[in-house]
Structure formats: structure tokens, C-alpha cells
Amino acid sequence: MNMLMNETPASSPVLVTKTEPAKPRRNKPLIIGLLIVAVLFVFSLIQLQFDYSRIAEGFVKLGGIIHVMFPPDFSEWRHVLLAAIESLQVAILGTVLGIAAAFFLSFLAAGNLTPHPMVAWIIQSIASLLRAIPTVVWALIFIVSVGLGPLPGVLAITVSAAGMLIKVFAQSIEEIDKGVLEAMLATGASWLQIVMQGILPTVKTAFIAWCVLRFEGDLGESTILGAVGAGGIGFELTHAMKSYNFSEALFVGLVIFIMVFSVEYAANWYKMKLKKGQY
């Protein structure tokens, strides 16, 4: 009886399936990319012919300069603070003008909103050109055109900010679901109504986040532009270093750090509030 129960019926064959071992994922593109980077790194290291003894001597000399910097010289604090305010004004004006230009052009550069693909291609090409040239180079170009002072700094930041923001704004617009646009077109909405009622409420948060991020970078660039004659606190830092007044240079550096850090902290706080939907 027990033997009959333990026997397997002939009509119920046992199917044995063979499981193939999982093949390891091939990361050939990653490996090739790392090899290319490694080869370029070694080639650059050999080609530039670094003098390591000179680097060591430079660090020793840097330690002596840092020792001479203390204590910081606060005697010209009024002049330095006015220069810091000027750098902040350059960053604000340049960023706002760049945002205004990018805001209007990005709708024409977006592939899902442009009136013609050629229009989008032209605007995107111009934006690529504006981004390809560094802000400092733009400042030098405008210094030749309009002279020294804060104006070339404002124009340089405006051009650079517009070049970047056109790209990111257009990308944010292109990520919108096509169904939203098709539904509004089906209701007979005009192009302006689609932008105002369908696009802007969707991309508003992304636009604001990109604008805040760009302002953080522009503030740092505004301090550098002063070194090439575009006004602001960068000129004071360059002047102090060229005069070997390292204690005053330390004070200028501290002002730059406090200014940039404060703006970055305020921007991060605002972005956190924005993510939580409080604004």
C-alpha cells in the first residue's frame, strides 16, 4: 500500500528546467571611457612637464604669505564694502536681464512650441555660442566696447546667463506632456493661451530654481570680473595682491566669502521652501 502511494504515475512526467547562469553585465562603454580619460590624463601630465620641486617650493612660499596676511587689515573697510555692494549690483542686474531675455526666447527655442523648427535651431545655436565663450572673455570684449567699470560686467553676465537659461528653460518646456498641449489645442486655445495657462503653471517651479542657481554662479563671477577691470570687489583684491598688501587682501577675501556664502545660504533656504510648496 505504501509502496503504491510513493510511486510516481507514468502519466505525470517530471519536467526538469535548466536555468542558465546570469550573464555578467558588460560595461564596455564605461571601461572605454575610463581608459580614454586615463590616457588623456597621463598624456597631459607628461606633456605639461610639471616641476614638482617648484610646486613644493610654491607651497612653502604660500605658507609664508598666509603667515604675513594675519591679522587682516580693516582700515579700508568702507571702500571694500562699497566695492562688494557694487559686485552684488552687477550680479543682480546681469542675472535679471539674462533671465528676461531667456524667458521670452526659450518658448521659441522649445521644439514643442516653436512656430518653425528653423527658428528653434537658430536660437539654440546662438545660445550655444553665448555659453561657449567664458564670462571673463565676454567682459574683456565689452571693456573694449564700452570701457572700464561695472557696465561691461553687467553685459558679460547678461550674455552668459541668457545662453545658459535659454537651454535649461527650453528643456523644461520640452519635458511637458504632449497630451496637455494637444488637449488645449483641441479646445481652440491660442499660442499665448497655451503658454500662459498650460506651460507656465507647469514649469514655474523649475524656472525659479534655475534662476536662483544661476544667480549664485553670477555672484561668484561678478567678484572675478573685477580683476579684469569690470568693477566690483575683484578689483580691490587684485590691487591688494599686486601691491603686496596681503593683510588687506585677506580682509577682501573674507568679505567675498561672507557675501557669497550668505547669498548661497539664502538661496538654498528659498529652494527648500519652494520644494515644500510654501511659495
Looking at residue 23, its pLDDT comes to 52
DSSP H/E element including 125? helix 117-132
Identity of the amino acid at 150: P
Mean pLDDT for 101-126 is 89
CATH number of the domain within which 190 lies: 1.10.3720.10
Percent of the chain clearing pLDDT 70 (strictly above) = 90
23 falls within a domain: no
Domain count, the chain: 1
Query: For the chain, what is the mean pLDDT?
Result: 82
Looking at residue 7, its pLDDT comes to 47
Looking at residue 57, its pLDDT comes to 83
Instruction: Please check whether residue 137 is in contact with residue 158, taking contact to mean a CB–CB distance below 8 angstroms.
Output: no
71 falls within a domain: no
Is 60 exceeded by the pLDDT of residue 133?
yes
Q: What are the angstrom distances between the C-alpha of 159 and each of 64, 156, 272?
A: 40, 5, 28
How many Å apart are CA 261 and CA 268, to the nearest integer? 10
251 falls within a domain: yes
Mean pLDDT for 258-276 is 82
Looking at residue 157, its pLDDT comes to 94
62 falls within a domain: no
Boundaries of domain holding 155 = 76-275
Looking at residue 192, its pLDDT comes to 79
Secondary structure (DSSP) of 150-188? HHHHHHHHHHHHHHHHHHHHHHHHHTS-HHHHHHHHHTT
Is 80 exceeded by the pLDDT of residue 143?
yes
91 falls within a domain: yes
Q: What angle do CA 194, 196, 198 make, to 5 degrees?
A: 50
- pLDDT-derived band of residue 2, with 50, 70 and 90 as boundaries? very low
206 falls within a domain: yes
Q: What are the angstrom distances between the C-alpha of 151 and each of 57, 92, 143, 177, 226?
A: 40, 12, 8, 41, 11
97 falls within a domain: yes
185 falls within a domain: yes
Looking at residue 17, its pLDDT comes to 52
How many Å apart are CA 88 and CA 226, to the nearest integer? 12
Mean pLDDT for 19-25 is 54
